[in-house]
Amino acid sequence: MSFIQERLKTSLEGGDPQKIIRDFIFVKGNAKLGDSLVNFIYSLAKSGVTNSTTGTKVSDLILSHAYRSSLWTKTDYLKFKGKKGQVADQVEALVLFFWIQNFISIDTYVACLMESLNPDKLHHPREEEETAISAFKSILDMCYSAWDKIVQTRKMDSSPSPN
């Protein structure tokens, strides 16, 4: 775990996991730092797929569409509402949360994006948007699966043990 992760990590002990993640996501500074992380991992993945270094800004539209097609919308864990910019901010904070908590590494995020990005669609803006939405949906689904395991483990740990 990096120094910054250790400093920013939120304790999940003894609290309601859904409240903890919601509280984290709605702190504006977390969305700003998450924006930088999202742009960084996408730029790394795109550079890896195209074999050419690049720095790319991920649009609010990409993140909001990815969220709306992700597993998060099928549950009561998190329901993001609002305009695309608000949803994108929440997605950025969510991606940051999973990295800070050391649940998903930057390398894992980048590998997931690289696996999902279609290199043939990265040279035309409209096609890149489509493949990026799909790739970020994969990231969000990976976050969801990690979160679901945490919640299920907490439920098992708090259930009464048989005598």
pTM of the entire structure?
A: 0.88
Q: How many CB atoms lie within 10 A of CB 69?
A: 15
Do 67 and 157 contact (CB within 8 A), yes or no? Answer: no
Question: Residue-wise over 117-139: b if at least 16 C-beta within 10 A, else e?
Answer: beeebbeeeeebbebbbbbbbbb
Q: How far is CA 135 from the centre of its chain?
A: 11
User: How does pLDDT run across 57-86, given as a tens digit for each residue?
Assistant: 999 999 999 999 999 888 776 777 788 989
Domain boundaries, the chain: 17-145
In tens, the pLDDT along 129-157 reads 999 999 999 999 999 999 888 777 766 66
Architecture of domain 17-145: Orthogonal Bundle (1.10)
Q: How far is CA 90 from the centre of its chain?
A: 9
